Structure 1
Amino acid sequence: MPCTTILVGRKASYDGSTIIARNDDSGAGYFTPKKFTVVLPEKQPRHYRSVLSHVEVELPDHPMRYTATPNAIPGKGIWAAAGVNEANVAMTATETITSNERILGADPLVKLQPAEGTEGTPDFRPEVPGGIGEEDLVVLTLPYIHSAREGVARLGLLHETYGTYESNGIAIADVDEIWWFETVGGHHWIARRVPDDSYVTMPNQLGIDDFDLKDALGKQKNFMCSADMESFLEENHLDLSLDGRLNARDTFGSHSDADHCYNTPRAWYMQRFLNPRTCRWDGPDADFTPESDDIPWCRVPERKITVEDVKYILSSYYQGTPYNPYAKYGNPDMRGAYRFIGVNRNDFLGIFQLRPYAPKKLCAVEWIAFASNPFNVLIPQYTNIERTPDYLANTTGRVSTDNFYWASRLIGALADAHYGKCIQQIERYQEAAGARAHELIARFDREYKDAKKQAEENGDAVQASELRFAERANDAFADAARAETDAALREILLIAANNMQNQYARNDH
């Protein structure tokens, strides 16, 4: 199972933004090249058919424009993965999550059933389509929603209508709210609003713990769920609480041995980083260990959280712990004992920052990184656009440094193989690219405000120029990152080449 998610409420972030972020990872043993694109309304399908499950969905007219990070190589569907629409609503889908046998027995997943036998004969059984899944969710949801809450309602209806063939968690945010949606079996679902003063960590495991069923079936202030959830719980004897307060993780989730090496360690490290003094995280008297099942779904941080904090966390390989695979200290048997967050098969990282203080047309900044996160950098992009820079959009199956995906993949592979000699170059690369990105965002924010004020004073139409402004700014962001990436690749390639096994000089003997 791939992917790791962190959500940051607006009062927990450094600038009052809502922030949602997710690593999109391939399965073990392969990579899925990704690209950054924009889907225009005329390109959005009105009749959708899933490649994997063959489910068919009629879609509404008048979709909105939205950004997406689809697969660069066609064949397995769109997999739009994450994006922001023109109403400044962000969505990332999905985080694969866990469930248990009781839930999957009470409400089985809706899987494709291929046709059997020969058509026209008595034993023929026609194909039965499966439900919706990760391939489909952004395309079916994001173009039609104007708020995070509206997104939860649409997602819920889609799941109740078509079912799903997998267990997933989905984040949706607007400038005011973040909601986290989890599927529960084939047709049921729950959702919880992220507290404004808190952050949420999600490591491939059904995460919501405390759940107010009364609110979810009533005012829906902070919780939502399937309309029949109360009877579903009762009829199938699913609620495991002793005090009547539903713990969704106990009821709907898992606590397996696999969780303890693959999932819970990631939540442990993320919260250890953001709340180092709140709890004891290490040693025999630790409040929480990498294998704890009860690490809270959300927590108030010890300080406000930045974009750089989110990037560091989602790039983590457990620095400062015995589990760091590159460590020169501690017990060698513990290195790599737990699944890292920043792994070799990260395909992309999307951080979505919805800024309440920025002009509406520049409100959303989508920070994008490709390939293995410990060794890559983020490129910011405004999302009120109709095209994306070639450096982010022209990924194909051909390895080429003309695009950010493959350049990042090459840097990661070279730096990992020569970690001790390359890590300083990586750190310089990340700092330089990050500083330049923030510098350019501040500059273009100011230029936009000045240009719009002047246009309004002159009575000029501004809509088209706003799109062009954001696109020119995005080109500048990409050009700056490309310059830093090319320089880093040159330095890291030199280090790797000078440390090849066949190196030899006349003074070596």
Structure 2
Amino acid sequence: MKKNTDACTSIMVGKKASLDGATFIARNEDRVKAITPKRFVVKPAVKGRHETYISPYNKVTVPMPEDGMRYTSTPHLDQSTGPNEEDGINEANVAASFTESVYANDRVLAYDPYVKNGLAEDSLCTLILPFIHSAREGVEYTGKLVAKYGSAEGNGIQFSDEDSIWYMEIVTGHQWVAVRIPDDCYAVTPNQMAIEDIDFNDPDNYMWADGIREFVEKHQLNPDENRWDFRHIFGTKTKKDHHYNTPRTWFAQRYLSPKAAKDQMPEDDEMPFIRKAEFKISFEDIQYILKSHFNETPYDPMSDSPQNKTYRAISLSRTAQSHILQVRNSKKYKSSIHWIELGVPAFNPYVPFFANSNDTDESYREVPKKMDLKSAYWLNQALAEVVESHYDEFMEQDTDYQNELNEWARRKIAEVDEKAEKLDGQELIDYLTEQNHEIASHYNKRTLELFYDLLTQGCELSKMSFKMDPNL
């Protein structure tokens, strides 16, 4: 099986580390091509189904449970390589993000290679999210699938509910571990094995594949004398890691933990996976990291620095979509929010959609193959292209537009909360669905206004302009 060539950046924030008490899991879904059209949909609940799932990508074949819950997801428009639903929140208020591509070393793969027709990124959301009722169950359910079908590639998966976040790394054909992110901490992972020491005496906070310790011992894979560090045993420390992966952790940690991380360097191998922030982390802070391109450092690709292409940035032109899944701890109604960003994260806003709904707006649900400004995906791609083409002239206006929409979103969510707390059942679902349509309409209108405004301004910025000397 070929190694996964896609790449992402993931962020997790525990409920006591966040400003509003929500749990957050988030990820940039980066792809090989700059254009990978994505849809945002609600998959309906099913009852009494008798179907077998067969992946168009690698033919993994899995009988589907008869019953499955409703859930949001962001599938590829092109289904020829599988659904690639990637992320979502189900009606049990459980969120998941599939997947962060991770890579194992040759030593461990020699004894447990990937399974050609095993589980891969294209199928994971479809096969797991409709059937789990907690973050921990997400790990357990996935572990059973891996034991039965094997894994076709290395993948990191985030699960969250109102109380907890679990991060799971599947690294070989059958070996995996998972850790509960402490409530007062955050974690960042950039396509590199991240989980460190495993405490096998603490099953409340760690989970692992059956027989993993025996596997490591049998094949003499642990390089350490007195610890069982998953990253050391299964991970890599390559030139690619130092230029492609570790700098992203460095940038995120220097922002969230500036004092603790002040001596870290972009190519450090031993940056901790789990850290405490030096302030309460807001939704806007998570946005900032996912949108960043090493801003205000010599490594910013948008700068004139001779070091501007040294490291792979977090926000890329080939980000298919970015999401922030906010599971809010509301006792009155299911109020989780699936934030979606389409286009290049640096240039486009995150749009809040209430997950407890039964439909999405047509501009997100229907995506044509070619550019059409009625489609949210294509509209945001077009805006990003215009802003980047005249970055110095347009970035300030684009930043003001994003900040304006963040303010509007906070006000809108507060207004919806006030009314939604008095509703329940189908009436609540219908109300939240209606509000999602209003939110989409507002963002699309504002984005189109800015797009046309910048296009008009751009007519005056052509290199073909010529100003006549009045003395001639």
For normalisation by structure 1, the TM-score amounts to 0.89
1:20-419 correspondence to structure 2 within 5 Å: 20-27=25-32, 29-42=33-46, 46-111=51-116, 130-215=117-202, 220-243=203-226, 245-280=227-262, 287-328=263-304, 332-357=305-330, 359-362=332-335, 364-419=336-391
The DSSP-based 3-state class of the residue aligned with 1:214 is coil
1:287-335 deviation digits (Å, cap 9, x = unpaired)? 211100001001000001111111110111001111012225xxx3201
Structure 1 counterpart of 2:245, which letter? Answer: N
Q: 8 Å contact 2:34–2:317 — kept in the other structure?
A: no
Structure 1 counterpart of 2:200, which letter? Answer: L
Q: What residue number does 2:3 align with? A: none
Q: CA deviation at 1:227?
A: 1.3
- 2: CA distance between counterparts of 1:254 and 1:495? 48
1:490 to 448, 452, 456: 452
Q: CA deviation at 1:105?
A: 0.6
2:15 to 10, 13, 19: 10
1:33-61 deviation digits (Å, cap 9, x = unpaired)? 10100111249883100111111101111
1:373-405 deviation digits (Å, cap 9, x = unpaired)? 100001100111111011221222120111211
- 1: CA distance between counterparts of 2:187 and 2:110? 29
Q: 8 Å contact 1:415–1:422 — kept in the other structure?
A: yes
- 2: CA distance between counterparts of 1:46 and 1:238? 41
Q: CA deviation at 1:449?
A: 2.0
Change beyond 3 A, Cα 1:356–1:506: same
Q: What residue number does 1:457 align with? A: none
Q: What residue number does 1:114 align with? A: none
Structure 1 counterpart of 2:115, which letter? Answer: V
The DSSP-based 3-state class of the residue aligned with 1:311 is helix
- 1: CA distance between counterparts of 2:459 and 2:103? 43
Change beyond 3 A, Cα 1:507–1:61: farther
Q: What residue number does 1:126 align with? A: none
1:237-290 deviation digits (Å, cap 9, x = unpaired)? 1122221x211111111100100000000000000111112232xxxxxx2111
Rg (Cα) greater in structure: 1
- 1: CA distance between counterparts of 2:151 and 2:462? 49
Q: What residue number does 1:458 align with? A: none
1:3-52 deviation digits (Å, cap 9, x = unpaired)? 1000000100001100000000111x442110100111249883100111
1:454-482 deviation digits (Å, cap 9, x = unpaired)? xxxxxxxx422111101011011111211
1:440 to 412, 420, 443: 412
Question: Bigger shift: 319-328 or 78-87?
Answer: 319-328
Q: 8 Å contact 1:422–1:495 — kept in the other structure?
A: no
Q: 8 Å contact 2:353–2:439 — kept in the other structure?
A: yes
Q: 8 Å contact 2:34–2:319 — kept in the other structure?
A: no
- 2: CA distance between counterparts of 1:433 and 1:400? 22
Q: 8 Å contact 1:106–1:185 — kept in the other structure?
A: no
Gaps of 5+ in 1: 112-129, 281-286, 453-461
1:469 to 431, 434, 439: 431
Q: 8 Å contact 2:153–2:171 — kept in the other structure?
A: no
- 2: CA distance between counterparts of 1:442 and 1:396? 33
Q: CA deviation at 1:507?
A: 7.0
Structure 2 counterpart of 1:221, which letter? Answer: D
Q: 8 Å contact 2:23–2:165 — kept in the other structure?
A: yes
Q: 8 Å contact 1:432–1:484 — kept in the other structure?
A: no
Structure 2 counterpart of 1:36, which letter? Answer: F
Structure 2 counterpart of 1:195, which letter? Answer: P
- 1: CA distance between counterparts of 2:284 and 2:419? 24
Percentage identity across paired residues of the two chains: 35
For normalisation by structure 2, the TM-score amounts to 0.96
